[in-house]
Structure 1
């Protein structure tokens, strides 16, 4: 067996289930299979292998689901791919082959079933990796920060539950002015290069990774900048996104046999980690820009989000939106929630009128990081927070956000029932960074680190 050409990437993980993405390669039109075997850490014998047949239409990649795992348990696993000599082999028959598995051993830990134990997460967005003629240009710059995240994950007293990548994991449009990438093959090359750099590959092999797309997975400021000829680009970009990012996410349901249902009808998804719940929105591909019904989330998604907010019993509710929920920008705000004020107000009013506690919006996009608190002039029980983490690696062509980038001296919204007012709870960070969130006791600690892992700033959100 050979090592995966991309991956393994550990995706959605629960108390008893884990999804692992990996890619092989073409072998002269021969059959190709990918496989995973695992064992509890400390045991000698491996499980029977779990296999998938790899197809060119999926770029020789697939996701293998491991089921019936034990909660709160460390596992080791090996992953690889091969082409059997007998062309009649099936996923079932290759289980009997005497395979020599690749030497690397990866680790995963299932979630704890203990509801109220402390949890920690890594959040980041906007990882720029320039490609020139299909080859990454100075890839170590875009990979450096993931080495720092790995060190933090290895040294932290509290295990990291998940890595949340909230948009712009790749830049399809990095050379838009000179030579825009529009073809499926070109976009796939970017994913392969971005996800196979050594530090990010090591990190994603052992830390459950959840992703959602933003505009640069398609085109800058999509769909406002969409042209009539862009349908071809959109189909190719979303197909590649589905293979490399959505494939290992909770957006895919499980079929009766415990494997993933390949059909995908939406990109947004919720998931649960003890008494913490996440709702990862698709704030990019379901937009309606018509003057009569402007929406950043489609009707079904908005309804699902509101129902989740109202009925969830989670102590903390994290809502991921790749573009900023608030504060608003002085310029270029037409790409974020600022341009959809009616829908934003509906969500805020839902939270306020139903007296929902401990809602935190997580976002990226702006190439600057900050924490902000939102209150209501006439309702002392209302409080919502936002945590912004961006970028993981900036381009020299793009500026960092600063405090002066945002509208901070006026209410976010005025209503007959009162004003929604916000304030920064720390300084705006204008450099490459990632956020380390720790939910423990009666607070959320938000720790921002630079690309070398140095602590830049800590903020605290008191839970109610």
Structure 2
């Protein structure tokens, strides 16, 4: 029997790959005949490995197979299908089995290439955010319009193969009309995931390019923070939202402990830390633990990651909401890092005092795309880069350049020396460029083949064309 969604190529290294699929409830499910995913992995015509995974109804019959002991920089093909088995005949899951295990001619296929390894000198990827899907009827077809952006990314991949695709928030809108209309139950929410991910162009992208995702507010509710969980009903609402998110997005990310949604990974020598800026945030300064965007554990893990990866040629930090530039307060600035200046100050201080270079923030959320650099008046070696790409598709008016502080000076009391013996006022200044309010995605390229990283970012419209207002690449 064919799978009902996927496959999605998830977290991939030079020796392993995660493959995600969705099955379906079988006709004998109530009599304990359960659904299993079946996978055959090929290198050319050679069968390399076979595996089963259990597709739990709790996760809407989604699941992953993890293949390891693969060869670096090697093209593979995976064939996927479904089998239904009673407990007594259940196959072993998550381990290699004798194959092939796919006999159905209606199998689904994906192709991918493993990473090139730690000695690689190049990295090419695309990222973006905010893919709205609601008005899908005779008068307004968001499905067709929103999928055009992904067709352009697929075409880019064919010309210039991508190492990964990053979707950095609002992959679905669980509250398409904000408080006027929200998906109220798990099945309805999963249906919008299925509608979004089965569209032909995004499906083609995700079955050929390793895909990484992180949520933002609309996977839960607009401007979400833990403060909104005031009752048992709110807690159940949140748990349902996160179960859908885990099923369709987090499951194919790198493994994390149960309930943790931030993660890190590497592509060759290049390091990535993907922040969860939603599920741990507390807006109420009087709450236990105080106001926070990341929470204590994640913030400390981020500092440790920065320290451990200080020698990486480029360190990419994914923050669904922009670290900078800042939207103005009447445009939701308090929901971004501008509303959490104490925590932002800690991060800036750590990067500056520790002398960590080549840190690049990747963000979305604000329905406007921009480039920005931040420097420090008291430390000429300090430099941060911010790349913001949003939205993939949004049918309403977009944000304009006047909605942002294009340039801004931030002042904090911080340590002024590496020995941490004195504190004083430290001033940071960022200046932004671009501020394109239109459907877009961003392509990033890095080359360290000549020593110092040579990095560029380009913003493309939904048709894959440069914007006349910012047609050239941004170098950082």
Do Structure 1 and Structure 2 share a fold, with TM-score over 0.5? yes
Q: Secondary structure at the match of 1:394?
A: coil
Distance of 1:264 and 1:196 partners within structure 2: 27
RMSD, aligned CA: 2.1
1:52-99 per-position Cα deviation (integer Å, ceiling 9, x unaligned): 122211211111111111011111111121335x77422249958672
Q: Secondary structure at the match of 1:142?
A: helix
Structure 1 residues 103 and 242 mapped into 2: Cα distance closer, same or farther (>3 Å)?
A: closer
- Calculate the TM-score normalised by the size of structure 1: 0.90
Quote the residue 1:141 is aligned against.
145
Quote the residue 2:279 is aligned against.
285
- Calculate the TM-score normalised by the size of structure 2: 0.88
Quote the residue 1:436 is aligned against.
443
| 1:188 and 2:187 correspond | no
Gapped regions of structure 1 (runs ≥ 5): 253-262
**Which is further off, 226-235 or 340-349?**
226-235
Note if contact 1:251-1:266 (Cα within 8 Å) is conserved in structure 2.
Answer: no
Structure 1 residues 39 and 350 mapped into 2: Cα distance closer, same or farther (>3 Å)?
A: same
Quote the residue 2:41 is aligned against.
38
Distance of 2:197 and 2:306 partners within structure 1: 33
Distance of 2:300 and 2:106 partners within structure 1: 46
Quote the residue 1:234 is aligned against.
238
Q: Secondary structure at the match of 1:411?
A: strand
Distance of 2:344 and 2:49 partners within structure 1: 50
Alpha-carbon deviation of 1:417? 3.8
Distance of 2:398 and 2:142 partners within structure 1: 20
Quote the residue 1:427 is aligned against.
434
How many positions carry a matched residue from both structures? 441
Distance of 1:109 and 1:374 partners within structure 2: 36
Alpha-carbon deviation of 1:39? 1.2
Distance of 2:142 and 2:326 partners within structure 1: 34
How do residues 401-420 of structure 1 correspond to structure 2 at under 5 angstroms? 401-415=399-413, 416-420=424-428
Distance of 1:149 and 1:97 partners within structure 2: 33
Q: Secondary structure at the match of 2:346?
A: helix
Alpha-carbon deviation of 1:182? 2.2
Alpha-carbon deviation of 1:27? 1.2
Quote the residue 1:452 is aligned against.
463
Note if contact 1:182-1:236 (Cα within 8 Å) is conserved in structure 2.
Answer: no
1:150-206 per-position Cα deviation (integer Å, ceiling 9, x unaligned): 0000111xx311001000000000034443212111111111111111111111011
Gapped regions of structure 2 (runs ≥ 5): 414-423
Q: Secondary structure at the match of 2:46?
A: coil
Alpha-carbon deviation of 1:248? 1.0
Quote the residue 1:319 is aligned against.
317
Distance of 2:141 and 2:157 partners within structure 1: 27
Distance of 1:333 and 1:48 partners within structure 2: 50
